[in-house]
Amino acid sequence: MADRPLTVDADGHVLEPRDTWVDYIDPDFRDRAIRIVIDRRGDEVLLVDGRPVEAMRNGLAGLGGINLDPAEALDRSGKLRYEDGCPPGGYDPAARLAVMDEEGIDVALLYPTIGICWEGLVTDPALATAYSRAYNRYIVDFCAHDRRRLVPVAHISLIDEDGAVDEVVRAREAGCAAVYLSPDLPARAGRGLSDPAFERFWSALEDLDMPVGFHVIVRDAPAFPPPKMERAEGRSLFAFAFLAIDVMAAFTEMLASGVLERHPRLRCTVLESGATWIAAWLDRMDHKFEVMRTITPTSLKPSEYFFRQCIVSADPDETVIAPIIEAVGSDYFVWASDYPHIDASFGVVGEIRSRLKPLSDEDQAKVLGGNALRFYGLEPPRG
């Protein structure tokens, strides 16, 4: 590490063992725990409160899949099971550290995988909090292997606004550094992020000094369903690409709705939607704000909230990220591997470094790791 900038993966993932929720959930909810089973048709399905997530039927190997050929991982014939797409670095903390060493990653913030699949199906607030609490217990145990290098991010469900406050306090005390929120409306019972019901939650995040991040999700009924196309393959590509729009929409709502104005110490991360769009979007929002200033609930331009309270995560394959960073400012970008998901790859640290080479050494160091340490209040690992 001495001969290179400290490197922080701002969005890595675990691949939760299939019994995670059975093992970690409160006993009163164990019969409703998330499970992976083989159904009567012989299909491998993810059960959420006893109901299958149809979007993942015979497709669970593709939740991970970095170790598979994409055509193999996307095959829904039932040849592969969940574990076929799970390299050891996804579920074993010692193996994860070995992958990080090989890749040149010093610290990784860790997000769920199965955990991004369930919220749209759950309408029982108590069950939602039980699911999130079970995952949070698991990820804290996973990261206990090396708490300096493996950083747990708590999953919180806003469908239970009171349970969300209780759980975020518990998760912070257990060692979680930040919060993941699903970006779509079903995950919060159709309520906007500025709904008064969530004010206690935003205030709790401020008091706990925990940034919140929006991340892509998996849904049977996506917020932006694919249009009709002659070939189903086109619909699949549309759906895969449009996962980012949920995140961008939630981020836009945070800027426009007054949440960041009322909670000036709240920090927000925009994840797995790329970063090169951010300059154009802030310009667009600022222009529209000037037109609608008299009827908006905010006093500052949207970009001012971004610069005061937000960062955005860049993908290693974004070819024009360096000039965007120069235009917006190097303090507002981190980067992420998305390991071990199907659209991730090995060698990403070298790739992101090559993208950042036009920047000064100081700016490169900020994006590679310095900004993440500052934003999340992390201590660098020893050695």
**What pLDDT digit, counting tens, does each position of 180-209 carry?**
999 989 999 999 999 999 999 999 999 999
Q: Where are the alpha helices (DSSP H) in the chain?
A: 20-24, 70-73, 88-91, 93-103, 125-143, 161-174, 199-208, 232-256, 259-262, 278-292, 302-309, 321-328, 348-356, 361-365, 371-376
Q: Residue 78 above 80 pLDDT? A: yes
Q: Residue 232 above 70 pLDDT? A: no
Q: Residue 3 above 80 pLDDT? A: no
Q: Residue 237 above 90 pLDDT? A: no
Is the pLDDT higher at 224 or at 9?
A: 9
The model's confidence at residue 229, banded by pLDDT at 50, 70 and 90, is confident
Q: Residue 1 above 60 pLDDT? A: no
- 150 Cβ contact list (under 8 Å, min separation 6): 93, 96, 97, 107, 108, 110, 142, 143
Q: Residue 269 above 60 pLDDT? A: yes
Residue 242 has a pLDDT of 82
Residue 233 has a pLDDT of 65
**Mean of the pLDDT values across residues 307-320?**
97
Residue 241 has a pLDDT of 84
What the block records as the tokens of 84 is 């076929």
| Bond from prior residue into 297 cis (ω within 30 degrees of 0) | no
Residue 119 has a pLDDT of 93
Q: Residue 263 above 90 pLDDT? A: yes
Residue 181 has a pLDDT of 97
Residue 146 has a pLDDT of 97
Q: Which of 365, 273, 359, 362 is nearest to 324 (CA)?
A: 359
CB distance 322 to 357 below 8 Å = yes
Query: Residues of the chain with pLDDT > 70: what percent?
Result: 98
Residue 225 has a pLDDT of 78
Residue 10 has a pLDDT of 98
CB distance 218 to 121 below 8 Å = no
Residue 228 has a pLDDT of 75
Distances 248 to 245, 253, 281, 351, 355 between C-alpha atoms, Å: 5, 9, 10, 24, 23
Residue 347 has a pLDDT of 94
Q: Could you give the 3-state DSSP secondary structure of residue 316?
A: coil
CB distance 207 to 172 below 8 Å = no
**Mean of the pLDDT values across residues 97-112?**
98
Residue 12 has a pLDDT of 97
Residues found in the chain: 383
What the block records as the tokens of 64 is 């991970």
Q: Residue 249 above 80 pLDDT? A: yes
For the chain, how are helix, strand and coil distributed in percent, rounded to 5? 50, 15, 40
Q: Could you give the 3-state DSSP secondary structure of residue 47?
A: strand
Task: Among 3.40.50.10190, 3.20.20.140, 3.30.360.10, 3.40.50.10440, name the CATH number for the domain at 8-16+87-376.
Answer: 3.20.20.140
Residue 230 has a pLDDT of 67
pLDDT tens for each residue of 114-157: 999 999 899 999 999 999 999 999 999 999 999 999 999 999 99
* Average pLDDT of the chain to the nearest whole number: 95
Is the pLDDT higher at 208 or at 3?
A: 208
Q: Which of 184, 108, 163, 168 is nearest to 136 (CA)?
A: 168
pTM of this structure: 0.95
Helices and strands, number each (H, E), in the chain = 15, 11
